[in-house]
Amino acid sequence: MKTSRLFFVIALIAVGLFLLAPGLSFADDAAAGLFKTKCSTCHGANAEGKPAMHAPGLVSDEVKKMSDGDLTGQIADGAKSKKASHAFSQKGVSADQVKSLVGYIRELNKK
């Protein structure tokens, strides 16, 4: 009896992961697409920055040290210096999209 319950739980977890995994991949693809359309023009395709434009790289120790809240604030409301015209929350980018961009930038910094 216990063996069949264990098998059932394992099968249920496997099915759940099978259904969830494509969604997670899609979320990564959506964040990458959003980065490409909203961020890569200034920050580069690989977030390496564009010195000629004075656009900083997002793959850096400075960004790694930032909290998610600070990074979210810069994307949603603009940088503290107000030199960058981010404020994407006022340009139709949702809070969930900003959160996905923060996650995407964190993943880029792990590579």
CATH number at residue 79: 1.10.760.10
In a domain, 78, yes or no: yes
pTM: 0.69
Dihedral (Cα; 81, 84, 89, 94), 10-degree rounding: -120
* pLDDT tens readout for residues 31-76: 899 999 888 888 998 899 898 888 889 999 999 999 999 998 888 8
Query: Range of 96's domain?
Result: 29-110
* pLDDT tens readout for residues 75-106: 888 866 655 567 777 778 888 998 999 999 99
In a domain, 90, yes or no: yes
**How many structural domains compose the chain?**
1
100 within 8 A of 30, measured Cβ to Cβ: yes
Nearest Cα to Cα of residue 74 among 85, 61, 65:
85
The model's confidence at residue 20, banded by pLDDT at 50, 70 and 90, is low
- Residue 3 host element (H or E): helix 2-38
